[in-house]
Structure 1
């Protein structure tokens, strides 16, 4: 990790900004700035009025009534300080880069875009595709800007993407396909963004963590490669899953009865995300369909290494969801490391509505482990 950062700092002195072929370019870091500063914060996600951006009913008062299992994981106790800082490496951001035009249920299309942060250093750099969360109801590519910037400054091209969600009439197949389409697009345009196309990882939070896991365990599975740039690979060499779901049929199994009743609408929308927008079948009534939507189903010993995080105070996605995935990966011989972060809640601001509730996720200790994992598997 430190060798990559040092190389970035040295190379940045001699590199000037190159205009990209697509999207607008913003100088996010001054090329002469040496002072470390607070990393930029994301704006609050928009509420479109159709449920996107809104936390599910009951999320604020939910309780998990089963103990958090750390027997195969490592417990981290980072507190909330010190926080990450930015400013060590100049970067450029290419905003609203269109990477796909996808069909919508009922007709019409939607254009999907990404924001790409590129360190202004010499030579091709590893790529990390960031998949934002949003409960399968929204996908705000502007989220988690602080940590995305921190990772970009460590020497990685970071692309935050949009994908189809349940209000679009999408299923998990559509969303996973969109993630893979973004990876193929970036490989096809690697020269435009100084990308090393052989060193690609995927990272996601919450619903994005689920999709990142699905993308990782379906390396080479052509059923999810749909759309343009099919001459490019969509496989990845590393996966970071932060508090993502795995078994969608058990999303509420660890919660108290009141929470289960209050969050029933979440299960109803998730059932449509699995079975399609016209589906009237519950998750419990179609376990075969749920299994097809479960990353555990696709695990293979050749899968890329996984880094998994979950907070033991998360009352949106139970920590047991990532535990099931982690244990299944390890049982298959896949390199998987899982950290349980003490007192950390669900870090997705789209749900908490309060950046203060996610401070554990931007501590130097937690973020440093993420960057170290990326270095070992993409840049080392």
Structure 2
């Protein structure tokens, strides 16, 4: 993700947290790894496209019995999709008893649009389910976890009823392209309102002259929600300077209105995950890696994938 030039808001309007669980900065310790034995598979091809093969990395706990699968989809502004991201978090999930895959997906630099990214997530899930016995996990029990751009992709893949998916974690992911900067200052809103901005390119493709405000109803998760959606856990920080907190609030409220099991956690004072570290403020990323926060996600996947 280091190659991305992030647009950062100068101010953020407060949003309604009445339907969410607010987590204050409690000083919970950072989670630590245990050094458990994990089988590691690197650069496994799962899909072929004209430009390249798409690859995934996989961690599988060593021990008896098939493990549930969690597929991690990284962020990167739809410009970058480095499957090596979040290695510490992925290892923690694997040490908690899950097989964990991290996947590549096509980006705007390859001319990809949102339907391509969703298809890449679905292809990865289909490949992993077909190979589950070979790798030693349970392909019938699948969870998705995505951050930022990856949060959008796992949300869409979950709402499009990707076979096997029973639980989705969206961490500060886009929901409505046209209102992504709604909570921000005028300069930030103007910066995102261009036909060459990656979000517009990912929505419409190159050369269309369209912006994020030229709506594509099919691209909005809000238009794919039914009462048959998998369970959701949703996360956002109140100080997110990249994707406005009202994005995930819209998703959470719409899921609840449809009768879907959805819980939204708001980290008071937290920014956009690892972006703080990339911007030279590593201490501001720490709230995302506490035992409390990571533990809630582990508990969520255990509840919905281990039954």
TM-score (norm 2): 0.94
- Partner in structure 2 of residue 294 of structure 1: 220
Contact 2:4 2:80 (C-alpha < 8 Å) held by counterparts = no
The reply on whether 1:317 has 2:243 as its aligned counterpart is yes
Deviation at 1:343, TM superposition (A): 1.3
Contact 1:267 1:283 (C-alpha < 8 Å) held by counterparts = no
- Partner in structure 2 of residue 201 of structure 1: 143
Contact 1:132 1:140 (C-alpha < 8 Å) held by counterparts = yes
Q: Distance in 2 between matches of 1:348 and 1:174?
A: 25
- Partner in structure 2 of residue 39 of structure 1: none
Q: Distance in 1 between matches of 2:212 and 2:244?
A: 17
The reply on whether 1:268 has 2:197 as its aligned counterpart is yes
Structure 1 pair 206–86 and aligned structure 2 pair: CA distance change class (3 A) = same
Q: Distance in 2 between matches of 1:121 and 1:264?
A: 51
SS in 2 for 1:186: helix
Q: How does 1:24-103 map to 2 (within 5 A)?
A: 45=1, 53-56=3-6, 58-59=7-8, 62-64=10-12, 66-79=13-26, 81-87=28-34, 89-103=36-50
RMSD after superposition: 1.8
- Partner in structure 1 of residue 293 of structure 2: 366
Question: Which consecutive residues of structure 1, in runs of 5 or more, have no partner in the other structure?
Answer: 1-44, 48-52, 104-108, 221-233
Contact 1:271 1:279 (C-alpha < 8 Å) held by counterparts = no
Structure 1 pair 341–131 and aligned structure 2 pair: CA distance change class (3 A) = same
> Alignment partner for residue 282 of structure 1, among 192, 204, 211?
211
Structure 1 pair 68–189 and aligned structure 2 pair: CA distance change class (3 A) = same
CA deviations 1:154-209 (Å, max 9, x no partner) are 00000000000111100000000000000011011101211101110100000001
CA deviations 1:217-247 (Å, max 9, x no partner) are 0005xxxxxxxxxxxxx44000000000100
- Partner in structure 2 of residue 377 of structure 1: 304
Question: Which consecutive residues of structure 2, in runs of 5 or more, have no partner in the other structure?
Answer: none
SS in 2 for 1:309: strand
Q: Distance in 1 between matches of 2:190 and 2:221?
A: 26
Q: How does 1:139-150 map to 2 (within 5 A)?
A: 139-150=81-92
The reply on whether 1:246 has 2:175 as its aligned counterpart is yes
Q: Distance in 2 between matches of 1:178 and 1:305?
A: 21
Deviation at 1:282, TM superposition (A): 2.2
Deviation at 1:353, TM superposition (A): 4.2
SS in 1 for 2:146: strand
Structure number with larger C-alpha Rg? 1
> Alignment partner for residue 104 of structure 2, among 135, 140, 162?
162
Aligned residues: 306
Contact 1:70 1:340 (C-alpha < 8 Å) held by counterparts = yes
SS in 1 for 2:52: strand
CA deviations 1:50-85 (Å, max 9, x no partner) are xxx2233x42x5321x21211100001244540101
Q: Distance in 1 between matches of 2:273 and 2:195?
A: 18
> Alignment partner for residue 356 of structure 1, among 245, 263, 283?
283
Structure 1 pair 89–351 and aligned structure 2 pair: CA distance change class (3 A) = closer
Deviation at 1:351, TM superposition (A): 7.9
Deviation at 1:102, TM superposition (A): 1.8
- Partner in structure 2 of residue 329 of structure 1: 255
Q: Distance in 1 between matches of 2:44 and 2:198?
A: 29
Structure 1 pair 263–276 and aligned structure 2 pair: CA distance change class (3 A) = closer
Contact 2:174 2:247 (C-alpha < 8 Å) held by counterparts = yes
